[in-house]
Amino acid sequence: MAIDYSQKIPNNVDLASNKTLQRALEHWQPAYLDWWNEMGPEKSQTAEVYLRTAVSVDPSGWAHFEHVKMPDYRWGIFLTPTEGEKKISFGDHKGEPVWQEVPGEYRSTLRRIIVTQGDTEPASVEQQRHLGQTCPSLYDLRNLFQVNVEEGRHLWAMVYLLHAHFGRDGREEGEALLERRSGDADNPRILTAFNEKTPDWLSFFMFTFITDRDGKYQLASLAESAFDPLARSCKFMLTEEAHHLFVGESGVGRVIQRTCEVMNELKTDDPVKLRGAGVIDLPTLQKYLNFHFSVTSDLYGSEISSNAATYYTNGLKGRFEETKIGDDHQLKETSYKVNEVANDNIGTIEVPALSALNERLRDDWITDVQAGVDRWNRIPEKLGINFRFKLPHKGFHRKIGMFADLHVSPEGKIISEVEWAHNHKNWIPTEEDRLYVHSLMGRVSEPGKFANWIAPPARGINNQPLDFQYVRFS
Ligand SMILES: [Fe+2]
Ligand SMILES: [Fe+2]
């Protein structure tokens, strides 16, 4: 179904036929814009940004590019179309038709799932709101803003579900989503990783590579939900998410590229000399990777979780690519391998698969992160540099789950408090590392120019040249 842009709220859900819902969302719209103006990208309201907007939800050619002022971006409600007689693909309701309405018994759980997902979307916009001031190029600035407006639209997607299916409670949750603030002591965002700061562009690229990838895995498992409007919302969000992952992976890749080039020019791997030359040494990049990987790992929750089992059994949240997995899709008999700590050693143990769904989703995500790291490693390899990036052990620097009370080295050895205190400066960014990275952040806003610490991308956005005016200031 085509997107109707003649409406106040662009949509492909025939919003005009439900006046009550339309009015409620039109009432939320100005509150959303107030939030955007207050908490969205700083000092950017009048900039014209070369943004992509969805014109249809068809997999081919849904994107349209033009310069728009971000407050005028057409945020709206887009769901992938219904697929005929869709059946529930897992859990106790497997084989029954998917639900178009929320079953009473799952109402509060589904609302919680939608609110938790919805809360991450504005949170990341808030975390990234200062970055525009220190962009390494107009190309990067445009990508940041693209990510920001799409996270804003993801909030719209979740608020639509709350308004359309959860009545008054849903409308109240919709308002609360605009009231919480990332990092606020009194009214923080729901999940810890979304209350961390994104203080510099290296953190931004790591965040979009790693934490947006958590988003991908959460959305993919919700795209399997028996609650069909949620499934179809998440499917469309996933198509937008792919660009966020690209921004992160290529961003870090370009930093690695630049550092390796300077290493070859200066014939050195000495961090002091490399910092003197204004690039980020590879061990510091590894520390940022360790930090973001471990903090994001926590988002999957405890290894063993009865909540995750219930979500699955009730058909609310499936596994990654549920329908492609060759098993009974009920997990009554199957087991899954998780870590176990015994006698100061980390081993593995088989547990009922149903109880280990958080761990399974985390493992799927790790495989995907690892593939990206492997692609990064081709850069030093190609340039004849010995360094290779390595993901730390799952137990490293964790705050949630079985490793929360332990200290684990990146290699996966349980260590003492003293050993941790001695070594963590080699494993996660120190204040000094952060200050150094921060010192590199200066605004580069001349078309075609890039900051010294990052290589230009291989190609522009939508086949535009690198010196294209991706953002116009007035
Ligand atoms: Fe998102
Ligand atoms: Fe995202």
User: Each residue of 334-352: pLDDT tens digit?
Assistant: 999 999 999 889 999 999 9
Does domain 15-472 correspond to CATH entry 1.10.620.20? yes
Ligand 2 centroid, distance to 206 Cα (angstroms) = 12
Ligand 2 centroid, distance to 194 Cα (angstroms) = 12
**Signed CA dihedral, 121, 289, 371, 353: sign only:** negative
Q: Which residues contact 254 (CB under 8 A, 6 or more apart)?
A: 454, 455, 456, 457
Ligand 1 centroid, distance to 132 Cα (angstroms) = 19
The rounded distance, in Å, linking the Cα atoms of 226 and 101 is 10
For 229-255, what is the mean pLDDT? 96
Ligand 2 centroid, distance to 100 Cα (angstroms) = 26
With beta carbons less than 8 A apart as the criterion, state whether 213 and 368 touch.
yes
- Closest listed ligand to the CA of 144: 2
Neighbours of ion ligand 1 (CB under 5 A): 121, 151, 154
Q: Give me the pLDDT at residue 286, please.
A: 98
The rounded distance, in Å, linking the Cα atoms of 111 and 374 is 38
Which is higher by pLDDT, 106 or 78? Answer: 106
User: Each residue of 371-398: pLDDT tens digit?
Assistant: 999 999 999 999 999 999 999 999 999 9
The rounded distance, in Å, linking the Cα atoms of 206 and 29 is 31
The structure's pTM equals: 0.96
Ligand 2 centroid, distance to 410 Cα (angstroms) = 27
The rounded distance, in Å, linking the Cα atoms of 83 and 70 is 33
Model confidence at 242: pLDDT above 90 = yes
Question: What number of CA atoms fall less than 13 Å from residue 44's CA on the CB side?
Answer: 33
- Closest listed ligand to the CA of 244: 2
Domain ranges of the chain: 15-472
Ligand 2 centroid, distance to 27 Cα (angstroms) = 26
Ligand 2 centroid, distance to 310 Cα (angstroms) = 27
Ligand 2 centroid, distance to 122 Cα (angstroms) = 10
Q: Give me the pLDDT at residue 83, please.
A: 78
Ligand 1 centroid, distance to 262 Cα (angstroms) = 35
- Closest listed ligand to the CA of 211: 2
**Signed CA dihedral, 244, 361, 93, 103: sign only:** negative
